[in-house]
Amino acid sequence: MKKRILLLTLTSGIGFLAFSSYTSGPGLNFQNCTGAKGSATSCGGGGCHGGNSTATTVSIEVDSAGGVAVTKYRPGVTYTVKITGTNSSSLSHFGFEYTAVSGSGSSQTQAGTVNGAPANCHITTNITGLQIVEHSMPLTGTSGAYTVPSFTWTAPALGTGTVTMYCTLNAVNFDGGADAADVSRNTSITLNEGFVGVSELPQDIAIKAFPNPATNQFSIKMEGAGTGVYNINVYDMSGRIVATQSIHANGGTTETVINCSTWPKGYYGVQIAQNGAQRVLPVVKL
């Protein structure tokens, strides 16, 4: 009898712990419901909430420092992430999970960094190395409208390429159980790297930056570029232009030197552009 009571108590305790951990975010229970690598795309499943439903919506907006929504990011620049949602049944509470990745499929890796969790939320790192932002307690909605406390995200280094942000929002009736009445929805948005232009310079134009890394100066060498003037802009990690120059191509080999002796150490993007087309080379200053 004692063994049966002990087993029942232990089982009840485990069940309570699992339920409590999910109300504090599935990430604490090693669950990833964002839709990114190694995850589900909803909060549904055995013993969990209901699955994806059009009754719930979710959207992600990424704003610049001026409060303008962006579709491109500048490497190293900090943006504000805003997540909102709705539910047609006006369910009273909600939870969410968010992550930002680069790459695709099983090759996805963490992209950028969230700079501290917003109110009533926390950050976990799942077993695939992705940084997950999620609720740490059930969040409250108003008349079926849901707003996640905004947080800031610092974009990844130059050359990362396209970043995809995933989020699942789960609207719940807050009745003390996880059931089919609680419904979720997943979404994602794509941000292109800000140095990507309308078009690329032809691939038969060979462009090289050397030495790279550089200490006091480096050269830009062009081969095979048609006769004309090409503009050079050098950006730091915040997206600020630190140098401008031009190079006069003659159809053969052309070279120009850029002085970087006074620049702070770090990564830079060297943009070579002509008539709306460009090429960007990453350069490291030591």
Mean pLDDT of the residues in the chain: 85
The answer to whether the pTM exceeds 0.85 is no
| 153, 62 Cβ separation under 8 angstroms | yes
Domain-embedded: residue 3: no
Question: What pLDDT is attached to residue 54?
Answer: 86
Domain co-membership, 97 together with 147: yes
Query: How much is the average pLDDT of 5-9?
Result: 37
DSSP-H helix ranges across the chain: 2-23
Query: Residue 194: which pLDDT band, with cuts at 50, 70 and 90?
Result: confident
Domain co-membership, 77 together with 162: yes
Query: Residue 81: which pLDDT band, with cuts at 50, 70 and 90?
Result: very high
Domain co-membership, 136 together with 171: yes
Burial group, residue 257, by CB count within 10 angstroms (0-12, 13-18, 19+): exposed
Query: How much is the average pLDDT of 6-31?
Result: 48
**Residue listed under structure tokens 């002085």:** 259
Burial group, residue 266, by CB count within 10 angstroms (0-12, 13-18, 19+): middle
Q: What is the CATH number of the domain that holds 237?
A: 2.60.40.1930
Domain-embedded: residue 137: yes
Domain-embedded: residue 252: yes
Distances (CA, A) of 286 to 87, 195, 212, 237, 267: 52, 22, 9, 15, 9
Domain, as residue range, for 244: 199-285
Query: Residue 3: which pLDDT band, with cuts at 50, 70 and 90?
Result: very low
Q: What is the CATH number of the domain that holds 111?
A: 2.60.40.4060
* 30 CB neighbour count, 10 Å cutoff: 10
Domain co-membership, 49 together with 172: yes
* 91 CB neighbour count, 10 Å cutoff: 22
Question: What pLDDT is attached to residue 21?
Answer: 40
- Return the biggest CA–CA distance within the chain: 94
Render 14-29 in DSSP notation, one character per residue: HHHHHHHHHHT-GGGG
Q: What is the number of structural domains in the chain? A: 2
| 98, 133 Cβ separation under 8 angstroms | yes
DSSP 3-state assignment of 66? coil
Domain co-membership, 141 together with 212: no
**pLDDT tens for each residue of 218-256:** 999 999 998 999 999 998 876 778 999 999 998 899 999
